[in-house]
Amino acid sequence: MSARRSVVTLFATGILLSMGGLRPAGALLAAEPPRPAQGPRPLETSCVTCHAQLDGELLEPTRHTGDDIHFLKGLSCHDCHGGNPAAGGDGDPTAAHDPAKGWMKPTRAQIPGFCAKCHADAAFMKRFDPRARVDQLSEYRTSVHGKKNAAGDERAAVCVDCHGVHGIRAISDPRSKVYPTNVADTCAHCHADASLMGRYFIPTDQFAEYKRSVHHHALDEEGDTSAPTCNDCHGSHGAVPPGVENVASVCGSCHGREATLFRETEAKKKLDLSACIQCTVCHGNHAVLEPTDAMLGVGPQSTCTGCHSEGEPGYKAAAQMAEDVRRLTGKLAEANGLLDRADRAGVEVNPDRFALQKARDQLVEAKVLAHSFDLERFNVAANEGIASADAGIAAGRRAFAELRYRRFGLSLALVLIAAVIVALAFKVRQIERPAAE
């Protein structure tokens, strides 16, 4: 080849490559996948052309060329399975399924390594997404799934069980099996199946329990994707139940304040609470429900009496806290009731309602401080709240005093009106009496 021809070829290739690069970043939704650096376009490989004419299981992969993220990024069958994408157009698969060109259909044991061929290669993944993580395989190997898979258990979950096989969507796509709102269903596919989990002696009630929880409610009904699902606590690839000593850290990754209080008390009182008390002891692990005031204290639904018995300092502290919360809640309700009634009767109460907000804040603060299990700290908030609520009640009573004052004023007016009526009556009588008087 002459030097000029090489330059032209290089130039042309450069132009073609840069035209590919000019494609807008939202290529996920573009009709056409980017042009591969070499070889036929993803949809024009012999793999797709041939398999599109087959049926059943062999046709299935070609149905996903429009939504699979690999296809959309410009990759095709041979980029994973190997083989020759240019051969086999005549219908004979031997040339296409060429082992010399790396063609393979992985077994379940081989799948993690198969996907990791690209997904653990930082240099390769950077071409498609500079922020892509490449540690999924190493995480997976630490998980129960990964360990069982390495030991040869065909039933343990591998990449394709959660992500899908050929129609793998981006994880930011709400239709993806691993989008936050779908994760629980994906995990439950196996973990809620007693016939599958029986041999491992793993319970299968987690999904049912989770569906009762506030986390599920926030995620499913309010669409709040910051609410946790299975992978937020258990990990995505390194899926393992949090160890007993780690629960507070896991919950604390969102509920930071409670976890901090917990640790502060451990330090202050020189206790090691990790073994005996973690969040799940009082709040549950999967069926985390809305906390109620009855959980605090020594009543029938209390979570404190599970460990603390009567006479212990802990028991007394719990009873005290519950009593204070009950008092503050009651006073808040009373103050609000008074202010509402005064408002409806036409007395100005907005500044008082505003001041009462402080009491409400302190009530929430007190309940949060209950997680410090430290009566002193709790009392600071509780007492401030009670003082604010008392001020609110006083304001309500003042508003009613204003009402009484109005009634007094109007009573005076009534007296005046009565005087006028009496005077008029006498005047009429006077006019109508004979003039001789």
Q: Which token pair is 386?
A: 């009670």
419 contacts another protein (rule: CB under 8 A): yes
* b/e code 34-69 from CB counts within 10 Å (16+ = b): bebeeebebbebbbbbbbeeeeeeeeebbebbebbb
Q: Which is nearer to another protein, 2 or 350 (CB)?
A: 350
424 contacts another protein (rule: CB under 8 A): yes
CA atoms within 13 A on the CB side of 428: 6
Of residues 318 through 357, those in contact with another protein by CB under 8 A are: 343-351, 353-354, 357
CB of 346 to another protein, least distance (A): 4
Say which residue the tokens 């204003």 belong to.
Answer: 402
CB of 424 to another protein, least distance (A): 5
Distances (CA, A) of 239 to 94, 168, 201, 406: 40, 20, 17, 70
Of residues 255 through 274, those in contact with another protein by CB under 8 A are: 255-258
Q: Which token pair is 127?
A: 């071409």
434 contacts another protein (rule: CB under 8 A): no
CB of 349 to another protein, least distance (A): 8
Q: Which is nearer to another protein, 169 or 377 (CB)?
A: 377
Of residues 66 through 125, those in contact with another protein by CB under 8 A are: none
Site string for another protein, 358-377 (x = CB under 8 A): x-xx--xx--x---------
CB of 287 to another protein, least distance (A): 19
Q: What is the CA radius of gyration of the chain?
A: 37
Q: Which token pair is 346?
A: 């036409």
Q: Which is nearer to another protein, 13 or 225 (CB)?
A: 225
Of residues 227 through 256, those in contact with another protein by CB under 8 A are: 254-256
Instruction: For 303-364, give the DSSP string.
Output: SSTTT--TTSHHHHHHHHHHHHHHHHHHHHHHHHHHHHHHHHTT---HHHHHHHHHHHHHHH
201 contacts another protein (rule: CB under 8 A): no
Binding site for another protein (CB under 8 A): 218, 222, 224, 226, 254-258, 343-351, 353-354, 357-358, 360-361, 364-365, 368, 406-407, 410-414, 416-421, 423-428, 430-432, 437
